[in-house]
Amino acid sequence: MKIKRAFLFPGQGAQVIGMGKDIYEKYEEAKKVYEEVERISKMPIKQICFEGSEEKLNKTGNTQIAIFTTSMAIVNVLKNKGIKADIATGLSLGEYTALVYAGILDFAQAVKLIQKRGFYMENLIPKESYEMAAVIGLDSKIIEEVCRKISKEGKFIAPANYNYSEQTVISGNENAIEEAIIKLKEIGAKKVVKLKTSGPFHTIKLLKAKEEYEKELKDIDFKINQHTKVIKNIDGMFYNSGDNIKEVLANHIISPVRFDKAIHLMQEQGINEFVEIGPGKTLTGFIKKEDKDAKLVNISDVNTLEQYIIEREENKIEGKN
């Protein structure tokens, strides 16, 4: 059976100290990515990724560019080995890695954009206390209705991430999240787990960040590439020539992530191998919940990278790909 492959790129929250270090040390094309990002951004990316501290790595302004660099370093090794994807997508920040991989967004421009995006998302948040929680085992429509009812009481709460059909992440004021947890459990949620991330990302509370970021997008050129399709976070559909990509990426900051729809679209397109490139196993974890038989691959270090390359070579010999 011919392999139809999707590359998946993680977003904020997947970061870990030391990510990419062994790949940087072994592969020249990976090393070049780190060097280029440092040159363009004037940030010590190697130090942030390889040495930490955790506090430094976890700052949104550092996290986003660090994860992007790590994923790009790995995917460049794969490209040089002739391993390509039919579809690319990512979670939030990961969408930028997908756009660069597909040739829709220039690498240097992406570095500058991600640097600004991370800065605005870290610094242009209202000075209030926010929490996020993952709701498991409840239909998203029911969760939306609960959020609407609590919002009518003058509190802020909204869905921020639709991860897969059985998990939706909500964001809001501390008291609104507490109220939602009680109500959602009462009406049948299997589990509601508070997350370490506390910013109201992908909600209207980041409107100021979106408005500032729009200015950064003004002079960026995007080129739709039909060879590799990229799935948008805001609606789970493919980018196409009719899209205003600047508008899409600006609205992305205040709009919930629809990774649930991206999963369904990849299934409809006949994807039979899902390869998550970068730190963590979040996205393949979501896919496994929807399709227990899916072929899932995680590439985050030299061992997983080389194991995958060897497997692909064996498949070529057998005529699978």
Q: Which of 171, 202, 252, 300 is catalytic?
A: 202
Distances (CA, A) of 256 to 18, 25, 49, 135, 160: 30, 37, 27, 15, 4
Rounded Cα distance, 224 and 222, in Å: 7
In the annotation, is 264 catalytic? no
Do 187 and 137 touch, CB atoms closer than 8 A? no
125: its two tokens: 């948040």
Left, alpha or beta for 47 (phi > 0: left; psi -120 to 50: alpha)? Answer: alpha
**DSSP tag of 104:** S
Q: Which residues contact 49 (CB under 8 A, 6 or more apart)?
A: 17, 18, 19, 20, 21, 34, 57, 66, 69, 70
Rounded Cα distance, 206 and 255, in Å: 9
3-state secondary structure of 79: helix
Secondary structure of 199-249 in HEC code, one letter for each residue = CCCCCHHHHHHHHHHHHHHCCCCECCCCCCEEECCCCCCECCCCCCHHHHH
221: its two tokens: 């050129």
Do 143 and 185 touch, CB atoms closer than 8 A? no
In the annotation, is 92 catalytic? yes
Do 184 and 143 touch, CB atoms closer than 8 A? yes
Catalytic residues: 92, 202
